[in-house]
A and B are shown apart, each in its own frame.
Chain A
Amino acid sequence: MYTKNKTLKYLSSKVSLVVTLILTLMCQNCADLDEDPTTSQLAPGQFTSLEDFDLGVTGVYGKLRTASQWTTFFVFGWAGDDITTHRALNKAPFREYDQMNVSSDNPRSLSNWNDVYSMIRAVNTVIESAQGLSVPDQEGYDRLLGESHFLRGTLFLHMTRIHGRIPLPLSSAPDFEIGLATQQEVYEQVERDLLLAESLLPDLYPGVIAGAPRPNKGSAQAILSRLYLNWAGYPLKDNTKYTEAADVAKKVIDNHPAHGFELLSDLNDLWKVENRFNSESVWTIAYSNPSNLGNRKYGILGYPSDVEGGWSETFAEVRFFEDFPEGPRKEATYRTDLDWKNFQDQVQPIFTKIAGPQGDLPSQWSTDRNDFYMRYAEVLLNYAEASGRSGSPTAEAWEALNKIRRRAAGKPFNTPDPSVDLTSGDLGELAFTERKWEFAGEYLRYNDLVRMERVADALSDQARTPLDPNISLSNPVVGSLSPDNYFAPIPQIEIDLNPNLDPDNN
């Protein structure tokens, strides 16, 4: 009896245990083991609408602005004979370019490399995600696709002008073994992208303000003219490309009203912050300082500490200033209101193009100024130079040069004026010289020197030493001026991570 009782008790306790456990576990939910990231994230992959596509393209612009907001974007410009930097302070990365002694660990090269290639990844993703998207608005689709190719081609060109041979990633999937393309391949890819952009983009991008903040057909053609000038010069020196450069520039000129392109009549207006969207820019990179999307290249970065506590990054070279032909263009290019010869920090003239016209920019290092990535003036001068160098200096080509000369002299650019107009001589060379003054301080000069192999002539100590005996030469060249030192080395860390990027391995 006793035993039975115990057993029963034992059993009943077991039963109650099991029941309790089952009840307890039944009341409990099981864990949810399937993740669903779409609540808070956009799923990458194929676009399903034009809005999707537009979001992606805007993202590419966002990446572009991240890259272009810093002076690093144009750091190769310091190698030109127009721009210099502080002799000391923390400007060594700029001095390396200024002195033609760029090390492979130059941080400015690296950060520009990373920013631009990050944008390339984004644009590749967009191009892939747009494949197979079918929407009723075919024009809208073409526009966005053309814009994507424009951005990729233009930025590949930007990078090859700094480094020469570059890698050309064309897929969003990382290729860890990617090698350097040849110079020919680089130009061909840029041409492919820009020709596609030219065919897909409209004459005028609908709904945008002046200065083509979103590119149109003319913007693509303008950049193409820049490409062909490079192609015709060092290192490939394919002279046949001058004709193509002239032809494509001519197309822009012929259609410039349709594209909304025109010179401003007064150069002084060009650099005012209120004119940051203007018809002279064939493609504008836009900024908005109040939205924390400011431009960090201008303002006090162009002053020494003597003026508004300047940051001493971008100065004008003394000799270039001394050689600069007097006239309204010089006045519009430099801040002649400043007593620069008595600066205590460093004796250099100041660029209006950097520091802004007197009283125009706030005393800040981040501003609202836009970048005129390419001006219509360059299209005109590309046309003039390419026409001259390809042996067809037409009257229209002379007229293109003279428009720039007239405005430089403070005259109406469309009215022929024998006192400034040129009609004879070596048009190519005359246009080349005109560019020197017209684009001083716009980070373009060094590339002109490279493509024409004039680096040694322009950058020798003799050529740069100030005429004023009281002023010493800032940042004299220490590196080689021969073509093997024209391009900046590819960042060392990239070569360490992927030896295929070492030019010596290719």
Chain B
Amino acid sequence: MKQMKKRPWGKKLFFSFLLLSCMSLSGFAQNVITGKVIDESGMVIPGATILVKGTTKGTVSDFDGNYTLEATSEDNLIFSYIGYKTIEIKVGTQTTVNVTLTEDTSELEEVVVVGYGTVKKSDVVGSVSQVTSKSFEDQPLTRTEDALQGRASGVKVTRSSGQPGGSIKVRIRGVNSITGNNSPLIVIDGVIGGDLSTINPSDIEAMDVLKDASATAIYGSRGSNGVILVTTKKGRGKAKISFDSFVSFDNIPELLPTLGAADFARIENSSRARVGSPAIYSDAEIAFFEENGGTNYQEELFDQQGMTQNFQMTASGGSENGNINYFLSGNYVKQTGMVIETGYEKYSLRSNLDAKISDKFEIGLNLSLVRDETENDLNSFSLFNGRKIMQAATWDPTTPVYNDSGEYNYFSLKSVASGTINPIAEMRESQINFLRNRVDINLNAKYDFTDNLSYALIVGANTVNTKQERYDISISKPDATYSGTDNTSYQISNILTWSNTYGKHNINATGLYEFSSSEYSQNGYSAYDYLISGSFYLAELAESFAASNIYNKSDIQSVMARAAYVYDESLFLTATIRMDQSSRFRKDENTGYFPSLALKYSFKKWNFIENGNFLSDLAIRAGWGQVGNQNIAPYSTFPSSQIGGTDASYPFTGGTPSPGAVPEGYGNEDLTWETTTQTNVGLDLAFWNGRANFTIDGYKKNTTDLLLNVPVPGTNGGGFIPQNIGEVENYGYDITLGGYIISNDNFNWESNVNFSYVRNEVVDLGEEDFIQGSFEATDGTQSYWNIIEKGEPLGQFLGATFLGTWKTSEATEAAQFGRAPGDPKYLRDDSGEIVYQAIGNGTPTTFWGFNNTFSYKNWDLNLLIQGVHGFEVYNTMRGTINGPQRSFMSPDQLNQWTPQNETDIPAGGQSIIGSSRFVENGSFVRLQNLAIGYTLREIGPIESLRLYASGQNLFLITDYQGYDPELNTITAVPEDRGNGDVAAGIDAGAYPNPRTFTLGCKLNF
């Protein structure tokens, strides 16, 4: 959190009065000088100190920034304010001296939130990346995750899709867990368990990312994936109202090439001729397609202008005495997706109030309300045969969307190409709405017993209600399903802080007792086979119904202690320990201890720095700690059974089914958390009095006793048993370099580079050398496209090795396997079976961001470039287009194998989509944001007006042949096995990232 230190202001005020009262009269003629102190943005600065140089005379500016004092024409006035550069002005003949103070980056006391307290940035011992609102306020944002992207080293944000309201993946320093969740812990204003997708980026003051275990160990069993501490804005000073609005236009950069109808028909005929089948398209039909074209289902699917509208209003301020402060904000976002019938809408409201009841007692209440609605999230449709995007790219171009009587052609008229229901019909006729209401209440109070000892209480409570309403026409007659959930959690933290200074020794100790509880329930129904078509709200028309229910509850209680010792601003030592008890594990296994130790030494006070101009600080850091991951579903230690549903009910009479029960989870009562041990060493350098900073951190973290869902072979009934088995290692380094390259009155260029490298390796899998993957092929082959292998990084692709086509000269050999020349050829083992092995990896090793802010007079420019390297993408989308699952769809086919021209493009035969043919380099560089703004000041009541235009994703440099190599892998059955990270980089029809143009304005009153 970057904020002005409050206490010094009070102190300065006090000293100023002292000075005034002790003022001695001098011999020169005194004139009354008045003026106003403002900052660069035109905001008034109350409490600035104005001193007459060489005397003890002085004053402070009042609440409106005005001051009055007496001085002679010979006097020089010195204006100073904490965090700003001190300036000196000779009075001369002036009686009005207005000044504009500019921020002093070196002196600004930046504060970093470290969890259960804050420290000065210079005192941070662990590895922490900070992203403040200043760095992203010029980028039009609707999502908080986007604000993190490319701005914090060691933090990888995968903005995976253009799906409005879609999920965005955040990972800190690689991925630890194979089965468990790898998402970082989100702590909003001290309350654990926030959700970045529901927080309005305009409400954020700063985000502090705790990366190493010495920093995250205070979050114990929930800290192993890193912690993002979000601090929301607070009001202060004079009332301020701002209004911000932008509109963006999203477009798909380019469509994937597919065959036109005539070429498609010819290729289809040729592949049928190879197996002795008659031509399915007549010459007349082909001539018709030649003349009239066919239907490009990609175009039909992306037939909507993507658009985002964002309105934001903020009011903030405080009472004159500073005892009551408020920050109020409201936000409305409406998005229309590029895919037909998709959209997103969000309303959010925040009220942060703080009251200082007395010198010792402060109390605050933060309230946040969010309601959002996602319309037709593509991931909510059946993912059988891939997402709608994959289906559209492989749908029969010779079948029009509608037949002659204006009804949908639900299936291909010739049963060719994709076998799915017409994706346009399904998008238009089905409806899947997801609605979420979230209320967060955060009550915090602080009482100072003495100057050294304080007690803070944080009470956080939130409730999230969701409902999914689904009307689905994909299977015979329409079905509807409803699912409503309620998730209510609370957290109570008692924090005791004691600190004292003994000469050069400073000691700070924190103690915590905390407990939290979360209760989840879901109820739903399915209504099958409407008698006549209708809509979701006509479920009474259904022929049969089924019900579903889930309930669970989990609790954690914790004790934490932290001691920090600082010697002479040079030696810093922090030690912490946390004990967690979690209800998710059985009594004997439910208590965990998570210690950490961190050390830092700064050479700031050494002569070579103190006396030099170039280097202003040099510090070395080392830290060690252990953190846990308890993120398994409640009741995982118990065996479970499934009641009813399609797998456990049976229609003995052919009508209404009878419910049954079948065994499901195997349970494992010995389960406990997985533990991540991390060692971190770092080096911090500051140059030219803090104008530039450099930080490098190297780390190694080992996650042991992995919470691993060990698959049970099909022979034994399938499913999985959760076990504590195996080890994953991540090691790498994060570099941040930033500062003002140019800084003068008119022109500023601030630049920030962050670079991260991480290697991931599965060190141990118990007795196994590999574990079956979690991503089931979308082509119906029941195979898995990923695998977890010992000695290799997570994200291994599993598939066949493509060797081109069988050539005419190899006809005899091909015939042994039932193949003919022109068929695809794959690597086989000695017994003649096709070899399935690891053929690539989708976990990136390297990512970087380069953020630049230029300002010239009233102009500002932001440029953010981002790169990700060292990974491959399994382009199963191209695999499906190239087919043939049923038909060839790719223009590559125009150059297919013929006896005369034996190319490596197969002309028929059994192609395998999951093969090395479709593994591609995924590395890319993207111009993430380019924004230019112009600010007008003081037009009537308007204090400032900023107009801006920007573009996101303006260019993408990559060899990848799909829409976009940056994608989230969504498994067809996400709860099945593992998490998306073990199947990273599988493109099975990801919603492409849009190219976005934005126009906006920001008004301050």
Spell out A's residues near B (CB within 8 Å): 10, 13, 16-17, 20-21, 24-25, 28-35, 37, 39-42, 44, 55-66, 87-90, 92-93, 99, 101, 103-105, 107-108, 110-111, 113-114, 117-118, 120-122, 125, 167, 169, 172, 174-176, 178, 208-209, 213-214, 276-277, 286-294, 304-305, 309-312, 344-347, 362, 364-366, 368, 370, 472, 474, 478-479, 491-494, 497-498, 501
B639 at interface, CB cutoff 8 A = yes
B477 proximity list for chain A (CB < 8 A): 290
A117 contacts B714, C-beta separation under 8 Å: yes
Q: Give Cα A498 to B639, complex, Å.
A: 23
Q: Does B802 contact A (CB under 8 A)?
A: no
Which single member of A39, A58, A99, A494 contacts B551 (CB below 8 Å)? A39
Task: Give the distance in Å from the alpha carbon of A93 to the alpha carbon of B885 in the complex.
Answer: 12
Cβ contacts A to B, 30 pairs, < 8 Å? A10-B450, A25-B513, A31-B555, A31-B556, A34-B583, A40-B550, A41-B638, A42-B641, A55-B660, A58-B658, A58-B661, A62-B647, A66-B646, A87-B276, A99-B818, A110-B782, A117-B715, A289-B476, A290-B543, A291-B529, A291-B651, A292-B479, A293-B649, A345-B415, A347-B278, A362-B476, A365-B476, A474-B276, A494-B713, A497-B713
From the candidates A108, A120, A276, A293, name the one contacting B650 in the complex (CB within 8 A).
A293
Q: Which one of A10, A87, A99, A101 has the greatest number of beta carbons of chain B within 10 Å?
A: A87
B549 at the binding interface (Cβ < 8 Å):
yes
Q: Is B689 an interface residue (CB 8 A)?
A: no
| Cβ B641 vs Cβ A41 within 8 A | yes
CB of B718 within 8 A of CB of A118, answer yes
* CB proximity of B201 to chain A, nearest CB, Å: 33
Inter-subunit contact B551/A40 (CB<8 Å) = yes
15 additional contacts (CB under 8 A) given A31-B516, A117-B714: A30-B557, A32-B583, A37-B634, A55-B661, A58-B659, A61-B650, A65-B650, A89-B886, A103-B833, A113-B714, A309-B412, A347-B278, A365-B476, A491-B714, A493-B713
Q: Check B663 for interface membership: any CB of A closer than 8 A.
A: yes
Cβ of B455 < 8 Å from any Cβ of A?
A: yes
A110: chain B residues at CB < 8 Å are 714, 782
| Contacting residues, chain A, for B32 (C-beta < 8 A) | none
Q: How far is the CA of A16 from the CA of B453 in the complex (A)?
A: 12
Question: By the criterion CB–CB under 8 Å, are A17 and B455 in contact?
Answer: yes
- Cα of A58 to Cα of B449 in the assembled complex, Å: 66
Interface status of B528 (Cβ within 8 A of chain A): yes
Residues of A within 8 A of B584 (CB): 35
B415 touches A58 (CB 8 A): no
Contacts of B517 in A (CB 8 A): 31-32
Contacts of A478 in B (CB 8 A): 815, 818
Q: Give Cα distance in the complex from A118 to B781, angstroms.
A: 19
Shortest beta-carbon distance from B658 to chain A in Å? 5
Q: For B741, what are the chain A residues with a Cβ–Cβ distance below 8 Å?
A: none
Give Cα A505 to B746, complex, Å: 81
| Residue from the set B276, B582, B662, B885 with the largest chain A CB neighbour count within 10 Å | B662
> Which residues of chain B come closer than 8 Å to A122, judged between CB atoms?
662-663, 717
Residue of A nearest to B716 (CB): A174
Q: Are B476 and A366 closer than 8 Å at their CB atoms?
A: yes
Closest Cβ of chain A: how far from B437's Cβ, in Å?
Answer: 23
Q: Which residues of A contact B503 (CB under 8 A)?
A: none
CB distance from B783 to the nearest CB of A (A): 7
Contact A62 B412 (CB under 8 A): no
The 3 closest A-B pairs by CB, nearest first: A121-B717, A58-B660, A59-B660
Asked if B652 is an interface residue, CB under 8 A from chain A, the answer is yes
Are the C-beta atoms of A32 and B660 separated by less than 8 Å?
A: no
Check if A42 sits within 8 Å of B662, measured CB to CB. no
Whether B583 pairs with A31 at a CB distance below 8 angstroms is yes
Contact (Cβ within 8 A) A286 B662: no
Write the chain B residue with the least CB distance to A87.
Answer: B275
Considering the complex, give the chain B residue whose CB is closest to the CB of A111. B782
> Contact residues of B with A, CB < 8 Å?
271-272, 275-280, 411-416, 419, 447, 449-450, 453, 455, 457, 475-477, 479, 492, 494, 496, 513, 515-517, 526, 528-529, 543-544, 546, 549-557, 581-584, 587, 590, 634-635, 637-643, 645-663, 666, 711-719, 721, 772, 779-783, 815, 818, 833-834, 836, 884-887, 908, 910
Partner of B581, one of A33, A61, A344: A33
Residue of B nearest to A207 (CB): B652
**Complex interface: chain B residues within 8 A of A501 (CB):** 715
A503→B551 CA distance, assembly (Å): 45
Report the nearest B residue to A288, measured CB to CB.
B651
Q: Is the CB of A169 within 8 A of B716?
A: yes
Let me know if A101 and B552 touch, CB within 8 A: no
A176 to B492, CA, bound (A): 45
Residue of B nearest to A52 (CB): B661
A353 CB to nearest B CB, Å? 18
Q: Once the chains are docked, how many angstroms separate the CA of A114 from the CA of B713?
A: 8
Q: Are A497 and B772 in contact (CB under 8 A)?
A: yes
Interface contact B836-A35, CB-CB below 8 Å? no
Q: Are A305 and B651 in contact (CB under 8 A)?
A: no
Beta-carbon contact of A33 and B635 below 8 Å: no
Question: Are B662 and A213 neighbours in the complex by a CB distance under 8 Å?
Answer: no
- Does the CB pair A33–B654 fall under 8 Å? no
- Chain B residue with Cβ nearest A342: B278
Per the bound structure, the CA–CA distance linking A130 and B139 in Å amounts to: 65
Q: Is A40 touching B552 in the complex (CB atoms < 8 A)?
A: yes
Kindly state the separation between the CA atoms of A330 and B241 in the bound complex, as whole angstroms.
85
Contact between A176 and B455 (Cβ–Cβ < 8 Å)?
A: no
Q: Which of A28, A44, A105, A493 contacts B640 (CB 8 A)?
A: A44
CB atoms of A107 and B782 under 8 A apart = yes
When the two chains form their complex, are residues B717 and A107 in contact, meaning their CB atoms are under 8 A apart?
no
Residues from chain B with a CB closer than 8 A to the CB of A44 are 639-641, 663
User: In the complex, which of the residues B447, B555, B657, B719 has the most CB atoms of chain A within 10 Å of its own CB atom?
Assistant: B657
Let me know if A62 and B781 touch, CB within 8 A. no
Query: Contact at A292–B528, with CB atoms within 8 Å?
Result: yes
Contact indicator A59/B413 (Cβ below 8 Å): no
Q: Residues of B contacting A117 with CB < 8 Å?
A: 714-718
Q: Quick one: which of A28, A292, A346 contacts B492, CB cutoff 8 A?
A: A28
Bound CA–CA A456/B174 (angstroms): 57
Complex interface: chain B residues within 8 A of A121 (CB): 663, 716-718
In the bound complex, what is the Cα–Cα distance between A305 and B517 (angstroms)? 57
Contact (Cβ within 8 A) B656 A291:
yes
Q: Which of A32, A289, A291, A311 counts the most chain B CB atoms within 10 A? A: A291
The answer to whether A35 and B652 touch across the interface, beta carbons within 8 angstroms, is: no
Which A residues are in CB contact (< 8 Å) with B414?
A: 305, 345
Taken together as a complex, chains A and B put the C-alpha atoms of A293 and B653 apart, in Å, by 12
A348 to chain B, nearest CB (A): 11
How long is the Cα–Cα vector from A491 to B714 in the complex, in angstroms? 10
Interface centre among B280, B516, B554 (most CB of A within 10 A): B280
B660 touches A56 (CB 8 A): yes
Report the minimum CB–CB distance from A220 to chain B (whole Å). 18
Query: Are A288 and B656 in contact (CB-based, < 8 A)?
Result: yes
Could you tell me the distance in whole angstroms from the C-beta of B754 to the nearest C-beta in chain A? 39
Residues on B with C-beta less than 8 A from A56 are 660-662
Check A292/B886 contact, CB under 8 A, given A113-B715, A213-B652.
no
Separation in Å of the B453 CB from the closest CB of chain A?
7
Chain B residues with Cβ below 8 Å from A16 are: 449
CA distance A17 to B448 in the complex (A): 10
Most buried by A among B581, B650, B815: B650
| A88 lies within 8 A of B272 (CB) | yes
| A291 and B655 contacting across the interface, CB-CB below 8 Å | yes
Report which of B449, B546, B654 forms a contact with A13, defined as CB distance below 8 A.
B449
Q: Give the distance in Å from the alpha carbon of A72 to the alpha carbon of B645 in the complex.
A: 21
Distance of B941 from chain A, by nearest CB (Å): 47
Known: A33-B583, A286-B652. A305 touches B662 (CB 8 A): no
Report if A498-B635 is in contact (Cβ < 8 Å); known contacts: A24-B494, A59-B660, A312-B415: no
A-side contacts of B656, CB under 8 Å: 288, 291
Assembled-state Cα–Cα distance A56/B884 (Å): 43
B780 touches A90 (CB 8 A): yes
Asked whether B716 lies within 8 Å of A176 as measured between CB atoms, the reply is: yes
B653 touches A33 (CB 8 A): no
Docked CA distance A21–B642 (Å): 46
